[in-house]
Amino acid sequence: MNMNKKLIAIDLDGTTLNAQSQISPKTEAILKKAVASGHIVSIATGRPFRISEKFYHQLALNTPMVNFNGALVHVPYTQWAAESETLFSRDIVFEILKQKNDLQLDFVAAENRDTFYVDRLDFGSEYLFDNQKPTNDNLLQNLKSNPTSMLIQTKTELAQTVSDTLKAQFSDYIDVRTWGGPNAILEIVAKGIQKARGVEIIADSMAIDRNDIIAFGDEHNDLEMLDYAGWGVAMKNASPEAKAISNDITSKTNDEDGLADYLEKYLAI
């Protein structure tokens, strides 16, 4: 097997994280072993940095990472020449806020790397609003800059309709992505943003050939990345679409250390 230096791009939810939203000791150990063997591990997630930062620390990474599904590609805490942040107009946020009742949204939040605003705090789980004091109830007054991402929540049975409605209205400007998980959370980013683009920026910056990228994912927002990577691996618990587009499928789920198990064999570590 060709054992050049690999760029290992890992999705978090449903992939690297178990059902408790944690990186298990085994997964942590194998990923650290991969790094010690000279490979590069990069997180590629739909999550903002504020709710993926702890995993970056846990894995002791210093590599570039992808947040907001590719809208932010950065090396945390560092000036990096290849950094990329893609914003969209805050007018879209205000327009969606106006339609909040018609669309039956629970909350509307907008953020970029430095700011996070939500129109009501009482609806947010700790998980979503895990942050230095997001400002309550005044998204309208506070949002002075263009956001990188918006999060909105609706009922599961309405998610597709809301997504279709917003795509139709703002088709030239934004893409709408669904988050995995129990709540119907939709993420809105600038048009054309997806994880594959973020991973490509990282690979180019490190002079890694596309064939030396191995990517792990499970959901709709991983499809392009799984397709782009030289070796795309879908989790056993992945969506049928993710499995169909991948080169291989793990034999265990995210709750059984499927990623670690696969990587240990693949890299022979």
Q: How far is CA 185 from CA 103, 157, 160, 163, 210, in A?
A: 13, 12, 11, 10, 32
- Class of residue 172 by CB neighbours under 10 A (exposed 0-12, middle 13-18, buried 19+): exposed
Query: Where in the sequence numbering do the catalytic residues fall?
Result: 11
Specify burial of residue 26 (Cβ count, 10 A radius: 0-12, 13-18, 19+). Answer: middle
Q: Is 42 helix (H, G, I), strand (E, B) or coil?
A: strand
Q: Which residues contact 232 (CB under 8 A, 6 or more apart)?
A: 214, 215, 217, 225, 226, 245, 246, 247, 248
Long-range contacts of 17-21 (CB under 8 A, 24+ apart): 17/55, 17/254, 18/254, 18/255, 18/257, 19/254, 19/255, 21/127
